[in-house]
Amino acid sequence: MMTPTSPYTVSPTQVPGLPLRAGLGLKIEHFTQVLETCPDIGFFEVHAENYMVAGGPFHHYLGLIREQYALSLHGVGLSIGGEGALDREHLARLATLIERYQPQSFSEHLAWSSHGPVFLNDLLPLAYDATTLSRVCAHVDQVQSTLKRPMLLENPSTYLQHQRSTLDETDFISEVIRRTGCGLLLDVNNVYVSCINHQRDPSAYIDALPLHAVGEIHLAGFAEDTDSLGDRLLIDDHGAPIDNAVWQLYEHVLTRTGPVATLIERDNQVPPFSVLQAEARQAESYLSQVAR
C-alpha cells in the first residue's frame, strides 16, 4: 500500500477545528443583526472569494464577527479539478485571507470551474479516472503546502456523468483523501441530490465514504425539476429549507461519525435570520443525540 504523499497524515478531525456544533453561512443581510444580538451560533462560514476585496464593509463586519465566532472559510473558485494548473494568484489571495482571519477550517470543492482564462462560476463535474485522480491529488497537495494546513474537500452534486469515468465517485474521493491526507467536507444535500439524479442509494453512498475523515458537514435545500424522461432531477440551489430526506440522511451520517461541525447553507432566497437559526437548532438536536 502506498504511503500518503502529503505531510498532513493527521486526520483533520484530530486537528483543533470548528466546534462540534451547528453553524450558519454569513450573509451580508445579517451582518448587523449578528453583531447586535450575538446569537448563540457554533460558527459562521463565508465564501472566500467574497472577501477577496481590498477593504470596506465586508472586511469591517467579518473582522468584528470573527472576534466573537469560530470561522470556516469555504472556497468556490479554485477549480481544483481543472485540467490546467491552479491559479497561483488565487492561491496567494487565499493564503492572505487565512493569515488575516485565522479560520478554523478551509474547504474547497471536488469540481472544476475554470478553463483557460475563463471562470465559469459553477461547480462542474469531473471524469473519475486515473488521470483526473493524479491531477486532483497534485492540486490538493499544492493547496495544503501553500496554505500550510490540511484542507477539506467537498463531495459534489452532479446532474450528468462522464462516460470516461472508471472509478465510482466514492472510490475517487476515498483515494484523494488517502493520498493527500485532506479531510472530507461531507455535503449531505449533495449526496442526496446526486444519488437521486444518478439512481444510487444515498445510504450506501455514505457508507462507501471514508467517514473517519469528515471534518465538516453541509446541509442545504434543493430545487426540483424533471429530465427528458420525466424523472426527478434535483438541483442543488441552496434556496430552500433542508428537505426531510436530507435530515434523515444526516441522522444516519451522525450515527456513523459522531458529532461533526454542521453548516446550514442558504445562498438564495435568504430568509430572516431566525429561520436559519431554527434550522441550526434542529441540527444541534441531532448532534446532541450522538454526543459522546
Partner 1 sequence: MSLQQAFAHALLTPDATCPEGMFSSNGADPASRFAVYRNNVHSALINALVAAYPVTRQLVGDEFFHAMASLYVQAHPPTSPLISEYGSTLAAFIQRFEPASSVPYLADIARLERLRVRAYHAADRQPLDQHSVLQQLQGCTQLGQLRVRLHPSLETLESPYAIVSVWAAHQTDGVIATLNPWYAQGALVLRHGLAVKVFAIDSGSVTFINRLNQGAGLELAIADALEASAEFDLHQCLTLLISHDAITHLHLPPKVSP
Binding partner 1 (rule: CB under 8 A), the pick from 7, 40, 68, 115 is 115
What DSSP element (H or E) covers 234? strand 232-235
Q: Should residue 156 be labelled a site residue for partner 1 when binding is judged by CB under 8 A? A: no
How many residues would you count in the chain?
292
Q: Should residue 28 be labelled a site residue for partner 1 when binding is judged by CB under 8 A? A: no
Please return the burial class of 228, using the count of CB atoms within 10 Å of its CB with bins 0-12, 13-18 and 19+: exposed
Give dist(CA 292, CA 290) in Å, integer: 6
Q: Should residue 198 be labelled a site residue for partner 1 when binding is judged by CB under 8 A? A: yes
Binding partner 1 (rule: CB under 8 A), the pick from 3, 9, 199, 244 is 199
Binding partner 1 (rule: CB under 8 A), the pick from 121, 134, 255, 289 is 121
β-partners of residue 235 are: 223
Q: Cα 212 to the chain's mean position, in Å?
A: 16
Residue 70 gets which letter from DSSP?
E
β-partners of residue 43 are: 70
Q: Should residue 190 be labelled a site residue for partner 1 when binding is judged by CB under 8 A? A: no
Asked whether the beta carbons of 234 and 197 are under 8 A apart, the reply is: yes
Choose between 25 and 42: whose C-beta lies nearer to partner 1: 25
Question: What is the x/- site pattern for partner 1, positions 229-248, by CB under 8 A?
Answer: x-x-x-x-------------
Q: Should residue 16 be labelled a site residue for partner 1 when binding is judged by CB under 8 A? A: no
Of 31, 106, 99, nearest to 73 by C-alpha is 106
Q: Strands 232-235 and 112-115, how do they pair?
A: unpaired
Binding partner 1 (rule: CB under 8 A), the pick from 120, 204, 275, 278 is 120
Choose between 115 and 148: whose C-beta lies nearer to partner 1: 115
Binding partner 1 (rule: CB under 8 A), the pick from 49, 141, 175, 243 is 49
Amino acid at 269: Q
The residues that touch partner 1, with contacts defined as CB under 8 A, are 49-50, 52-60, 76-79, 82-83, 87, 90, 112-122, 124, 127, 159-164, 197-199, 225, 227-229, 231, 233, 235
